[in-house]
Amino acid sequence: MNQQMTSDMRQLLRRLPKAELHIHLEGAIRPGTAMELAAKNGVSLPVCDRVEDLYSYDNLMDFLAVYGAISDSIVTVDDFRRITYEMLQSAAESGCRYMEFFVSPHAHKGVPFARQFEGIRAGMAEAETDFLITSRIIPGMNRELGPEAGEDYLDEVLANRGEDVIGLGLDYNEAPFPPEPFVGVFARARREGLHLTAHAGESGPAAYIRGSLDALKVERIDHGYNIVDDPDLMVRCRDEGLVFTCCPSTTKYTTPWRDLTAPDHPIRRMKEAGLKVTINSDDPPMFATDLGWEFEIAHGDLGFSLADLKAAILTSLDAAWLDDTVKREWSADWAREIDEAFAAMPQP
């Protein structure tokens, strides 16, 4: 892709300050780390000759199978500390200054939530000191387990809650698991002061986006690509200023849109329709990407101008679940920094 992009431009895009709102801790484990932790904890991973071949799949179901095996490999407090620290280190190398990341505590069978959160928090604190990256946790609920399990899950989340647990997400395989059955558990989470988001419209239909908004009252939509099938919903989301956390690389594997340069790629169409689109990395090592590369794709393949990239960055900060005063301050600083970086670019 984007063969013509100069290395100056690549470095510029990588250096821009960024906020990441859609990344999964268990999908952000370096393949070498996954191999080491699996061996240490006696878990067998799919057999492969080269470490990087661990992450190869062609659809969402294959991907979730590998994701499950990797999740089984993360057991001790230090395992959780290490994967959190490494995820934040990699993100910081892509210019990320602030991250809200999903965790899947139910995926680590038999590992108490408290142990998981202890390790995750240690990794967050170390990374903040070492890389000046601030982060917050969004536990993601596995929709495949159903709403009753969701209520138990929310109990666990609330029992282990700190100020760093800011929201609740809904993820895993979309169809045939529509959002509406989760109305009760999401209402309770909202009453408890958690922000809400849901994966919708990636492999599921546009109706799941509508259901997430109307029944679950989510504040953001993760992915959302199938909204292009529903022009009325597009108008509504544009008018309401709804923010979508899009992940360009993932679409090549988990949606029918395999060509990022195609004029009908949904992220391009969503942006052109005036929807608030942000650029995120989802499960970066598992899809051979990172946040800097996602910005290269957005610019080189998906038709995002530099002004569009600046808007996407400031939108993600605006949509972050941070204190408003902090957001205003960072937004002004980042806008200035981005303008200065663009002005310093050599003119072609």
Give the H/E segment covering residue 134: strand 134-142
Q: Which residue is nearest to Zn ion (CB)?
A: 282
86 or 282: CB nearest Zn ion: 282
Nearer to Zn ion, 74 or 75 (CB): 74
Nearest distance, CB of residue 101 and Zn ion, angstroms: 10
Report the C-alpha gap between 331 and 180 in whole angstroms. Answer: 35
**Stretches 31-39, 75-83, 116-124, 282-290: which one binds Zn ion (CB under 5 A)?**
282-290
Give the nearest distance from C-beta 296 to Zn ion in angstroms: 20
- Return d(Cα 215, Cα 205) in angstroms, integer: 15
- Minimum distance from CB of 216 to Zn ion (Å)? 16
Report the distance separating Cα 40 and Cα 180, nearest Å: 41
**Alpha carbon distance 262, 1 (integer Å):** 12
- CB nearer to Zn ion: give 84 or 338: 84
Contact predicate 196/173, CB 8 Å:
no
Beta carbon nearer to Zn ion, 16 or 23? 23
Give the x-and-dash track for 304-333 against Zn ion (CB under 5 A): ------------------------------
Asked whether 37 and 79 are in contact (CB, 8 A), the reply is: yes
Residue span binding Zn ion (CB under 5 A) among the ranges 231-239, 256-264, 274-282, 337-345: 274-282
Tokens of 58: 């062609």
Instruction: Report the distance separating Cα 132 and Cα 85, nearest Å.
Output: 12
Interface segment toward Zn ion; rule CB under 5 A; list 69-77, 107-115, 129-137, 275-283: 275-283
Q: Which stretch binds Zn ion (CB under 5 A): 42-50, 157-165, 278-286, 291-299?
A: 278-286
Shortest spacing between CB 22 and Zn ion, in angstroms: 6
Query: How many Å apart are CA 301 and CA 248, to the nearest integer?
Result: 10
Burial environment of residue 190 by CB neighbours within 10 A (0 to 12, 13 to 18, 19 or more): middle
DSSP state of 53: G
Build a one-symbol-per-residue string for 11-50: x at contacts with Zn ion by CB under 5 A, - elsewhere.
----------------------------------------
Q: Which is nearer to Zn ion, 72 or 171 (CB)?
A: 171
Least distance (Å) between residue 345 CB and Zn ion = 32
Annotated catalytic residue: which of 202, 294, 329, 337?
202
Taking the C-alpha atoms of residue 115 and residue 250, their distance in angstroms, rounded to an integer, is 30
Residue 230 Cα distances to 176, 200, 236, 325, angstroms: 19, 13, 10, 36
Active site residue 202: yes
Type of residue found at 319: A
Residues that bind Zn ion (CB under 5 A): 282
Active-site positions read 202
